[in-house]
Amino acid sequence: MSNIGSYEQRLEGFDWNIAKQILNWEEGELLNIGHMCSDRICAQGKADKTALIWEGFSGEKRSYTFDEVRVLSNAYAKFLQDQGVKPGDRVCIFMEKIPALYISFLGILKMGGVAQPLFSAFEHDSLEVRLRSAETKAILTTQKHLKKVRKIIDDLPLDTVICVEGNPAKLKGEEIFFNVDEAQRVDQFECFESGPETPSVLHYTSGTTGQPKGAQHVHGSVFGQALTAHWVLDLQDDDIYWCTADPGWVTGTSYGIIGAWALAATNCVLDSGFTSAKWYQFVQENKVTVWYSAPTAIRSLMRDGTDLVKQYDLSSLRHLCSVGEPLNAEAVVWSEEAFGKPFLDTFWQTETGAMMITNYPGMPVKPGSMGKPFPGIEAAVLDLKTNEPITEPGKVGLIAFRPGWPSMFREYRNQHDVYASKFVGAPADATPEQCRTADDVWYVSGDRASIDPDGYFWFVGRDDDVINTGGHLVGPFEIESALIEHEAIAEAAVIGKPDEVNMEVVKACVVLNPGFEFDDMTELSVMNFIRKKLSPLAMPQEIEVKDKLPKTRSGKILRRYLKALEWGEEVGDLSTLEDD
Ligand code: WT7
């Protein structure tokens, strides 16, 4: 099938420099992701190769060669420079999965900016929190989303609002219209001289407490992303690759842009709502060969059955991978039946920047297991009490990694203490660099797993209260804070509730303010309140009214108690509970 080598072969004498060889990248060459994903590909004689195949909501189609991506990303880079955006400034990309997103992403990196992609379904509150934290200088968006930006801009240090699609006559105040297709051709652009440690992409991710945290990545991440894309996604020069993730989330940048384009693969994007038929049609029409998707999508396809699969010619598909949530054994078995090959599960996080535990191609698949650590990754599960690596097969502990892989996040923006708290063996006041370089430290992922006698990792669950709905993490704190702003609600605890397709959905347990009844109207009003303030993902699918919420003696709401009740699990140690 390909020349990626067996897992055992790759473990032997592994060195991250292999990534450089695969990219033909030599020390001293410019290390800038924007450049490596466009200019450099053109310089390798692939200027006319298709870089992007795009299909929009109403079926409109466009495709771009690597040379077009090169020239258009130059235009974005120059335009941002002309607007006074400086290297290191955060530039948010806030739009649907339209071509401008993918191309401006490279443009921002080319001029040295830090790309901050945000999910376009975010409403003004979710947007504001992330722009404030990042002290974002400029935002690229579309007319459709301008109203959200207008609502919050007065309170933010955001000085440049650029609209890349829509009607220029609808712009207000100092908003700028920039249509790259009408802009002057920028054939040459001097890229910012970034190096391996220069900040590149800033992704916000939700934690249990506090507001979302900005995981800062660097240009050197490309080596980890490209090598994993080559060895695990098995991306080869002639692949037509479809990563279904939105670049508002890390999969959509690490593998939906960087890994794919650094390897000169043709990247497909379908910017439209999900239906199984539409997805199969897209695979058939574009002859997709490699497909990277998520368990929720796979379970949705599964629900629509194999008969539908048979109506399409999906014979182009040769390799399937999955990420984001536990991939249940049934889904793996079903994919073998439906597509003639299993979806291979991969495990990683926003913080890790690239795949960490994978079903390496060629390795026997144990349905339900995440596979083994990628070559070069030292992974363990740490004892829940002692934090020592567990040697006993099957015993559950915390998934942890030895720092040092290229795509690891370099900090949580302005939250060094939170960064340090993710490392076992690092002092609480350690700088991010000390956390990564100290002897004998582990980065702790926040997930639980066990390792079987063959070295396969089996996911057990998260170690915190973060909710994973359809592969998207949502933080309970962000939703609780918004809920108590609703006039009817006095207190709120947000937990994940089991869901057949999405794995979890958001459930809110609330205490009402005096004088409020919980009828259908109130329920709907609360749901809409969250949807319009945060996002559809954050909207509770169920709201349960309680007389009071379980709390610790110090007044902290015990979500894990509510969650255990919801999942029918043992409630565990309640000695810190306020009262019964
Ligand atoms: C969290 C990270 C990495 C790209 C998308 C998510 C969960 C991720 C798996 C998997 C079980 C998984 C974990 C992890 N997760 N992959 N293969 N099996 N759980 O990035 O938003 O940072 O979420 O997603 O809980 O910590 P993210």
Gap from CA of 67 to ligand 1 centroid (Å): 34
**Domain identity same for 105 and 240:** yes
- The whole-chain average pLDDT of the chain stands at 95
Q: What tens digit of pLDDT does each residue of 277-320 get? A: 999 999 999 999 999 999 999 999 999 999 999 999 999 999 99
Q: With a 6 A CB cut-off, is 407 part of the ligand 1 pocket?
A: no
Q: What tokens were used for 389?
A: 């690596």
Instruction: Note whether 530 and 523 are within 8 A (CB).
Output: no
Same domain, 174 and 112: yes
pLDDT of amino acid 412: 97
Give the confidence band of 359 by pLDDT, cuts at 50, 70, 90: very high
At 137-183, the pLDDT tens digits run 999 999 999 999 999 999 999 999 999 999 999 999 999 999 999 99
Nearest atom (ligand 1) to Cα of 249: 21
Q: Single out the residue of 67, 60, 116, 68 nearest to residue 88, CA to CA.
A: 116
Could you tell me if the CB of 462 is within 6 A of ligand 1? yes
| Alpha-carbon torsion (422, 425, 430, 436), positive or negative | negative
What lies within 8 Å, CB to CB, of 579 at 6+ separation is none
pLDDT surpassing 50 at residue 401: yes
Same domain, 449 and 527: no
Q: How much of the chain exceeds pLDDT 90, in percent?
A: 92
pLDDT at 379: 98
Question: Which of 463, 494, 524 marks a domain boundary?
Answer: 463
138 and 54, same structural domain?
yes
pLDDT of residue 557: 87
Distance from residue 1's CA to the centre of ligand 1 (Å): 28
| Residue 129 sits in the same domain as residue 251 | yes
Q: What is the mean pLDDT of residues 17-36?
A: 97
Check pocket membership of 348 for ligand 1, CB cut-off 6 A: yes
38, 261 in Cβ contact below 8 A? Answer: yes
In a domain, 1, yes or no: no
| Residue 580 pLDDT grade (very low, low, confident, very high; cuts 50, 70, 90) | very low
Domain co-membership, 282 together with 403: no
Whether 225 is covered by a domain: the verdict is yes
pLDDT for 207 equals 80
* Residue located nearest, by CA, to atom 19 of ligand 1: 325
- State which of 329, 346, 377 marks the end of a domain: 377
Regarding whether 382 and 370 lie in a shared domain, the answer is no
In a domain? residue 2: no
Nearest ligand 1 atom, CA 346: 17
Q: Measured in angstroms, how far is the CA atom of residue 325 from the centroid of ligand 1?
A: 5
What span, in angstroms and rounded, lies between the C-alpha atoms of 216 and 116? 10
Confidence category of residue 575, pLDDT binned at 50, 70, 90 = low
Instruction: State the average pLDDT over residues 67-77.
Output: 98
Residue with the smallest CA separation from ligand 1 atom 24 is: 324
Give the residue numbers spanning the domain of 403.
Answer: 378-463
Does 420 reside within a domain?
yes
* CATH code of residue 21: 3.40.50.12780
CATH number of the domain bearing residue 438: 2.30.38.10
75 and 142 share a domain?
yes
Predicted pLDDT of residue 434: 95
- My answer on whether 335 and 417 are in the same domain is no
347 ligand 1 Cβ < 6 A: yes
In a domain, 50, yes or no: yes
Contact 293 CB / ligand 1 (< 6 Å): no
pLDDT greater than 90 at residue 555 = no
Atom of ligand 1 minimally distant from the CA of 459 = 11
Q: What residues contact 332, with CB distance under 8 A and at least 6 apart?
A: 342, 343, 345, 365, 367, 368
**pLDDT per residue as tens digits for the range 325-347:** 999 999 999 999 999 999 999 99
Residue with tokens 């060895």: 231
Report the nearest-CA residue for atom 1 of ligand 1.
349
Assess whether pLDDT exceeds 80 at residue 2.
Answer: no
Total domains present in the chain = 3
Q: Is residue 44 part of a domain?
A: yes
Task: Tell whether 43 and 139 lie within a shared domain.
Answer: yes
Q: How far is the CA of 179 from the centre of ligand 1 (A)?
A: 36
State yes or no: pLDDT of 239 exceeds 70: yes
394, 450 contact by CB (below 8 A):
yes
- Output the pLDDT for position 577: 58
Q: What ranges make up the beta strands (E) of 2-104? A: 50-55, 61-65, 90-94
Q: Give the end of a domain, one of 326, 347, 377.
A: 377
Our answer on whether the CB atom of 324 is closer than 6 Å to any ligand 1 atom is yes
Average pLDDT over residues 239-247: 98
pLDDT for the residue 423: 97
CATH code of 565's domain: 3.30.300.30
Give the pLDDT score at 427. 86
Atom of ligand 1 nearest to the CA of 322: 17
User: Do the domain assignments include residue 478?
Assistant: yes
Do 365 and 422 belong together in one domain? no
pLDDT in tens, 414-447: 999 999 999 999 888 999 999 999 889 999 999 9
Beta bridge partners of 141: 94, 163
Site to probe by mutation for ligand 1, drawn from 299, 347, 351 as the one with most ligand atoms within 8 Å of Cβ, is 347
Q: Are residues 339 and 427 in the same domain?
A: no
